[in-house]
Amino acid sequence: MEENDALNEEGLENQENSQETLTKVTGMYKDWFLDYASYVILERAVPAIEDGFKPVQRRIMHALKELDDGRYNKVANVVGHTMQYHPHGDASIADAMVQLGQKDLLIDTQGNWGNILTGDGAAASRYIEARLSKFALDVVYSPKITEWQLSYDGRKKEPVNLPVKFPLLLAQGAEGIAVGLSTKVLPHNFNELIDASIKHLKGQRFKLFPDFPTSGIIDVTNYNDGVRGGKIRVRAKISTLDKNTLVIKEIPYGTNTSSLIDSILKANDKGKIKIKKIEDNTAADVEILIHLPNGISPDKTIDALYAFTSCESSISPLGCIIEDNKPLFIGVKEMLERSTDYTVELLKAELEIQLSELEEQWHFASLERIFIENRIYRDIEEEETWEGVIAAIDKGLKPHTKHLKREVTEADIVRLTEIRIKRISKFDLEKAEQFIESLNDKIAETKHHLEHLVEYAIDYFKDLKKKYGKGKERKSEIKIFDDIEATKVVIRNTKLYVNREEGFIGTSLRRDEYVTDCSDIDDIIVFTKKGEMMVTKVDAKTFVGKNIIHVGVFKKKDSRTTYNMIYKEGKGGSSYIKRFNVTGVTRDKIYQLAGTKASADVLYFTANLNGEAELVTVLLRQSGSIKKLKWDLDFADVIIKGRASKGNLVTKYPVKRIELKEKGVSTLKPRKIWFDDVVNRLNVDGRGELLGEFKGEDLLLVIDQKGKVKTIAPDLLTRFDESMVVLEKWKPNKPLSVVHYEGEKERYYIKRFLVENPNKEEVVISDHAKSFMELVSTDWRPVIEIEFIKPRGKDVKPNQTVHLEDFISVKGIKAIGNQLTSEKVKNINMLEPLPYEEPETKAAEEIEVVDEEAIDADSNKNDEKGNSEQPKLF
């Protein structure tokens, strides 16, 4: 015990001694962290608004200027020279210089500087060379108006900011992560920046949108002037090479061909898309070929590439810059305005220095002329002292200096004494006067520029565009993107099974009943015989409730899929009939569709994709004095209401069974479909040109410039090609008229025909290399006008009008048609068609959908699309 007490006392004594040596670092840490954060923000990550450079970039440009002799310098040499000003390693300087060189604006590069398209890095800095571009020499440097400071070790002078007379920050873009903040200024188009600067100087409004060196397509709807919270969407440019091949010609900013291909292969491995193989033929331009398996839609694959790969991505800009050693968050519009105003200030400073120098030249040239012309130099011959020489010259000048713009100083007189005898002996008065006159003209011009500074700045920007704007046209195409819903374009990469009796659904139940193909991002809708409904996510195995009567892939916001149901409210209860849609639900929530009684029972159920309403026969059990045990019931007489509605009474007596008597037709109103030429898609939202009202069997007629004619179902997912010349609702009895040039016969022909094979794509011109389609008309009675070429030595033949209905009768689609003329044709013009009244068609009786569905407040509003199946009879 005594030993333990002694140890405890010793331990306490040591602890007290150790406490005496402890020093609190809280304040020290606070100061150090703030110093570090300020250093990273100001000296590394964020560019200055004045010149658009980060410190390392500014020092590289200064080093390049010091080394500039018109020839290329090894990058390693430039990096070493930059290290006199930049207190960091050579690797960071070399990386920054490569990034500057890849922007192809300030640095003229030679050697392998890497490839922003493929992601390949640059060669080692000892193997590549660089020099300043002519543009950089013109706009970045002006030593006389540059503010200088000592370098980090005090041995050299470096610019505080370079006098950049151009919105360089917006042209190059900038990205950096500092402590507590970051910046992401997107690059913009060279010529558009100049145009915007000119508009700002003129007091006009302007808008700026990004332009990326990788080209691609961009949606700037939510750009929000490049401030925090804005967003742009960027897409690769994908087109169809043939029915089994897609080609990517341009890639989104922030990606390269390697990362893009990797993302496509990963999506293929996950089953989101199906591809056969990928070829990367990228060299100077991007070319990625995506080969598709047979039976895979190119249009749908394009949408899937945008939905599941790096072919589409979002970029969130963040306009943060340094001004007066403080971070400032502003938009690109204000950045350009500040840069343009700063350019005007720099131009003014240059003009003022230029004016001062010109006036100084004029002053001394005038003094020199007086000194030599009046032979004042002879007055100093007898002077023996320096003071006497100065006084003699001053005395000799005084009678002749009244017209000078300033006093004559002793420094001026000293400078006169330095004129050589050879210059005095060869002095030419006429040349001296001409020189002074030219200086007067330059002074007047400079003063005019200063008085009209804005006009001078506008001319400066125009001159920049003229000298350097060629080849810097916009690369990224601005377009409004259509939203792609992943569930609509994902490849059905797995199979869905159901165990109806036990109540399980899933992709792993391979021994049970197959339902449909689905994807791993789909929702599944399930109905049970108790009248319960639930929507759940696809999984390997999920319990949803026993005695399943319907399973299907759930598509959100689909108000056309209609469910027909007859149910018994409970044991001994009445039977009801109802029709409803399911447009929005809460996932994994059970909905009671047949009442809340535990003994509720569904007697009849069908899911109908297009609102079909069948005819059924109701058979009752023999009970008491019931006289009518059998009658027909038409679902078309039932109004479509919400899923929570009770429905219409069928009978209060026990039902023996319900039989399907006759399959139904759609009771939904034909839907209007529009074509939006901005996104080249169909829609039902009223955007673009109305194509008409479409029922289930109606088709679209599509004709392209190559003479391909086809009819297709009006699928809202279809992407229409730019070469399409006709898109309208197809009328089977309406003839098409085509004027085409037959290459083999070297003559124009006219043919009229009907589309006889709706499901087959056919070409209406020959496969000769010189054959082409001149005109196509879908009018009932079209009229054309022919203009002829004037024969040599003869009068031109007057224009000929041709009524196609009279010229040729309707023949087969493969017929060559009738020769239009044997004369040489200059032009063929389409005229107003002859009047024609279409026969009226009696519309079928239709029932409008009535949406009375009460959706829960927490319901997710999602697309839905159920699966048709045979009715379930119970």
Q: Which residues are catalytic?
A: 127
Q: How many angstroms separate the CA atoms of 412 and 415, rounded?
A: 5
Q: How many angstroms separate the CA atoms of 562 and 582, rounded?
A: 8
Phi-psi region of 308 (alpha: psi -120 to 50; beta: other; left: phi over 0): alpha
The number of beta carbons lying within 10 Å of the beta carbon of residue 309 is 22
Rg (CA), the chain: 42
Mind giving me the DSSP string for 30-89? HHHHHHHHHHHIIIIIS-BTTTS--HHHHHHHHHHHHH-SSS-EEHHHHHHHHTTT--S-
Q: How many angstroms separate the CA atoms of 764 and 787, rounded?
A: 24
What is each CA distance from 431 to 389, 401, 437, in whole angstroms? 28, 20, 10
For residue 194, how many C-alpha atoms fall within 13 Å in the half-sphere facing its CB?
A: 21
Name the DSSP class of 75. Answer: H
Q: Look up residue 389 and give its amino acid.
A: V
List the 825-831 sheet strands across, edge first.
Answer: 800-803, 783-788, 825-831
Contact at 8 Å (CB) between 90 and 98?
no
| 3-class secondary-structure state, position 533 | strand
Instruction: Report how far Cα 384 is from the mean position of its chain's Cα atoms.
Output: 83
Q: How many angstroms separate the CA atoms of 434 and 362, rounded?
A: 11
Task: Name the phi and psi angles at 144, rounded to 5.
Answer: -70, -25
Structure tokens at 342: 């700063």
Instruction: Report how far Cα 573 is from the mean position of its chain's Cα atoms.
Output: 60
Q: How many angstroms separate the CA atoms of 241 and 247, rounded?
A: 6
What is each CA distance from 488 to 201, 273, 292, 313, 559, in whole angstroms? 49, 12, 19, 19, 16
The number of beta carbons lying within 10 Å of the beta carbon of residue 284 is 7
Q: How many angstroms separate the CA atoms of 684 and 692, rounded?
A: 11
What is each CA distance from 753 to 576, 734, 738, 780, 816, in whole angstroms? 53, 9, 9, 12, 11
Q: Look up residue 220 and give its amino acid.
A: V
Q: Look up residue 760 and give its amino acid.
A: K
The number of beta carbons lying within 10 Å of the beta carbon of residue 723 is 10
Mind giving me the DSSP string for 436-496? HHHHHHHHHHHHHHHHTHHHHHHHHHHHHHHHH-TT----SEE-PPPP--HHHHS---EEE
Strands 562-568 and 575-580 turn out to be antiparallel
Instruction: Report how far Cα 496 is from the mean position of its chain's Cα atoms.
Output: 37
For residue 164, how many C-alpha atoms fall within 13 Å in the half-sphere facing its CB?
A: 26
b vs e for 93-109, b when ≥16 Cβ sit within 10 Å of the residue's Cβ? bbebbbbbbbebbbbbb
Q: Look up residue 340 and give its amino acid.
A: T
Q: Nearest to residue 146, comparing CAs of 134, 163, 158? A: 163
Q: How many angstroms separate the CA atoms of 216 and 252, rounded?
A: 5
Contact at 8 Å (CB) between 207 and 332?
no
| 3-class secondary-structure state, position 549 | strand
Strands 575-580 and 640-641 turn out to be parallel
Work out whether the CA dihedral 731, 733, 734, 739 comes out positive or negative: positive
